[in-house]
Structure 1
């Protein structure tokens, strides 16, 4: 779909063909944004799962930077836009070739009763694990999978009922889709989509070049969660970085009020003023805070969903993502005309202030937990206290494990603490 859509766009000589090309690429994006994070979540060891998902987010940010760089490179070339959209087929062809070499996830294989194949994949994920440890892991996942399914494959209707009528699954869905909606309603994509327009409004002569600064910041600060998301924790990363988003938008709203912008979004004074520079700084700081916490969180929500409803819940998350994106992108310019650019910045600032409170009240910490353990977090509530107790116990276990390793008879384990404990329990 990426290849066909890119070629159709590059060969367009009218709006209908370009629209069809964009539509086909959109179908590819919709599927990829659901399948890729789920695949990564199910393939990753618990102790590395957060970082693996962050790498996916970094790849997206890198692709955005490359896309803008290509637009800048071809902006003065005859039919340069054709090269910009047509080159999208190249990475898609590379991905298609690489897909021939990746295996199915162990949990999917176990669901299809292909236990031997699942064991081979798990042995690749944990190359130093013994045969007994691999067998224990297979049996643990199998027991957890069929605890609710009763050894029967579920229909779409059954998945729907289990997702919405099981309170634990519904709580996980509310949290997951809530984080996805917050991610989109922060307005970051609107900044990226309309960066040339926004920066021309504040007085910059080459807004397309300035916009790559925003994309570059988004990419570079994405390395912060790569370092800390599994050790510092998802919840704390969000709470420690999300406050930057409403604060920077609030300052940007004040700066915008000093820029003479007409009701038709035309800059009345073409000079770049201190207010214009401050808006640029606020946007960069906003992106710094966003990419350090809230940015990758959108792709980590799939770990919250129980296996028996994960694909269905992931679909709902993707629908929430692109539905919210549609609302923001289609109303952004209208809001800037209707309530002024300063009012638009202020609106999103207030929205993110409310979002911060919601994350504090409802988003649990699941770092280091296996996917089977995460299901238990939402059993009796939104899991804030339960996850804190879990982390407290894990710290004590880690201290004891380290003290045992320091003894001459200590035995080093190839599993993460949670993997080994749950596998033994299973």
Structure 2
């Protein structure tokens, strides 16, 4: 009975720290999407041009570009927990600043501060959860961060709707973020530092104390011993990523993450109320309400994606996902060109966001996490995340201007979605030619594949041999 009670206590502890750390993912989703509901009101109050609309949306993403680079230094120097606290401080400053902004310039500045918080949180939260999770639960617990992100997206839409009946309600939309930020701050005061970071800093008694709250004393001691042995042999550096094979892996990681941002679906999420308004749905609460099915659908697809990822190959699901997005953009272009009823706009938006959420959205992170060797994974992810947010910023900044250009030139925005369809088609070709199949393979086999500079389209029909030597492409 005592052993059972200790088991339940350890489970509650692991779940508790995961819940606290995943608030970073929640704030990422909430902060980036709350602007979608506020944008029609900001446009009216601040008299925004298309370029300034892009600035209002992309200023947070611009801040997020710097976040991963700072986060890499912070997570190693001051720890995972303190890095999340720094992110929470940036979130709180952004919450107060945007709620009381007097113009678009100071609004953009405070959004930029929130973006730095996003970058820090998305580097430190998943690392923290992974380093505290028992091996058999790590996958599920790390995915809680992604689920929290989607919950944050949905709550941002609901909050936007409830505050959309007042012309000044957009200020309350941003002020509402203070609630989860305070929860994160208070929660961080009660959880420990990552045992792996403590072990790296030679604070072994503290690391062992945390490990005993996760595992039995015997398992905790053995895990700490394994950590020490690993730390003694790790010598990773940026120069390793410049080796021929790993350089190719880095290129694949960067391009797949860039594709995840420039495919057009994120613009559907960020600008959903505005897109619906331009299609004929009234600006304000009605546009926000019409976009809610899209965000709820994303939540459902996020749950469904776990089963699909477990059952199907990485490349097969990835290519199918991007093909679905391509079809959705073509339908959106036809819809806008033929001036179908406004409600029809929802169907291609649902198809695009569903295909994205079921495939490219989760798989881009999974594949990037798998293709880099252990000794260089952190540094590689920092570089990849830099390009991720940079491409996201450029897309968010250019989307309203390009949409306005198509509307002025052709009296229709259908051309914008034809561009996105072509981008998705090029992504399909890239995934087919360059992205290797990593499902079911050990990290050591994947590392060997890149270090031996094996071509990604080499097919080895023997999975056992492949797991010893290289990657199987199916």
In structure 1, what is the equivalent of residue 323 of structure 2?
243
The 3 A distance-change label for structure 1 pair 308 and 182 is: same
Tell whether 2:381 aligns with 1:314: yes
* Equivalent-residue separation in structure 2 for 1:350 and 1:51 (angstroms): 35
Shift of residue 221 of structure 1?
0.6
Which deviates further from its counterpart, 363-372 or 168-177? Answer: 363-372
Tell whether 2:393 aligns with 1:326: yes
In structure 2, what is the equivalent of residue 190 of structure 1?
267
Q: Identify the match of residue 414 of structure 2 among 302, 322, 342.
A: 342
Q: What is the CA deviation profile of residues 373-406 of structure 1, one whole-angstrom value per residue up to 9, with x for unaligned ones?
A: 64334222367579977855799xxxxxxxxxxx
The 3 A distance-change label for structure 1 pair 210 and 311 is: same
* Equivalent-residue separation in structure 2 for 1:357 and 1:123 (angstroms): 49
Tell whether 2:144 aligns with 1:66: no
Shift of residue 106 of structure 1?
5.0
1:76 match: secondary structure: coil
Shift of residue 96 of structure 1?
2.0
Q: Identify the match of residue 285 of structure 1 among 336, 339, 351.
A: 351
2:453 match: secondary structure: coil
Task: Output aligned runs, 1:139-288, within 5 Å.
Answer: 142-143=228-229, 145-147=231-233, 149=235, 159-163=237-241, 165-205=242-282, 206-259=286-339, 273-274=340-341, 276-288=342-354
Q: Identify the match of residue 187 of structure 2 among 95, 98, 110.
A: 98
1:196 match: secondary structure: helix
Q: Identify the match of residue 363 of structure 1 among 426, 435, 442.
A: 435
Shift of residue 135 of structure 1?
5.9
Task: Output aligned runs, 1:330-409, within 5 Å.
Answer: 330-339=397-406, 340-367=412-439, 374-381=446-453, 384=456, 392=464
* Equivalent-residue separation in structure 1 for 2:455 and 2:132 (angstroms): 24
In structure 1, what is the equivalent of residue 67 of structure 2?
none
The 3 A distance-change label for structure 1 pair 35 and 289 is: same
**Bigger-Rg structure (1/2):** 1
Whether the 8 Å CA contact 1:65–1:215 is kept in 2: the answer is yes
* Equivalent-residue separation in structure 2 for 1:137 and 1:167 (angstroms): 34
* Equivalent-residue separation in structure 1 for 2:337 and 2:358 (angstroms): 28
Whether the 8 Å CA contact 1:47–1:368 is kept in 2: the answer is no
Which deviates further from its counterpart, 60-69 or 372-381? Answer: 372-381
Whether the 8 Å CA contact 1:47–1:230 is kept in 2: the answer is no
Shift of residue 49 of structure 1?
4.8
Whether the 8 Å CA contact 1:51–1:225 is kept in 2: the answer is no
* Equivalent-residue separation in structure 1 for 2:454 and 2:211 (angstroms): 30
Q: Which has the higher contact order (CA 8 A, sep 6+)?
A: 1
Q: What is the CA deviation profile of residues 117-154 of structure 1, one whole-angstrom value per residue up to 9, with x for unaligned ones?
A: 556656666x47x93x66665565555554452xxxx7
The 3 A distance-change label for structure 1 pair 173 and 35 is: farther
Which deviates further from its counterpart, 220-229 or 105-114? Answer: 105-114
2:102 match: secondary structure: coil
Shift of residue 67 of structure 1?
0.9
* Equivalent-residue separation in structure 1 for 2:454 and 2:196 (angstroms): 25
The 3 A distance-change label for structure 1 pair 49 and 302 is: same
2:238 match: secondary structure: helix
Shift of residue 314 of structure 1?
2.2
1:12 match: secondary structure: coil
Task: Report the count of equivalent residues.
Answer: 369
Shift of residue 310 of structure 1?
3.0
In structure 1, what is the equivalent of residue 177 of structure 2?
88
1:329 match: secondary structure: helix
* Equivalent-residue separation in structure 1 for 2:198 and 2:449 (angstroms): 25
In structure 2, what is the equivalent of residue 75 of structure 1?
164
Would you tell me which structure has more helix in proportion to its own residues?
2
* Equivalent-residue separation in structure 1 for 2:189 and 2:238 (angstroms): 31
TM-score (norm 2): 0.68
2:288 match: secondary structure: helix
Q: Provide structure 1 residue ranges, at least 5 long, that are not aligned to the other structure.
A: 260-272, 396-426
The 3 A distance-change label for structure 1 pair 196 and 78 is: closer
Whether the 8 Å CA contact 1:168–1:379 is kept in 2: the answer is yes
TM-score (norm 1): 0.75
Tell whether 2:113 aligns with 1:29: no
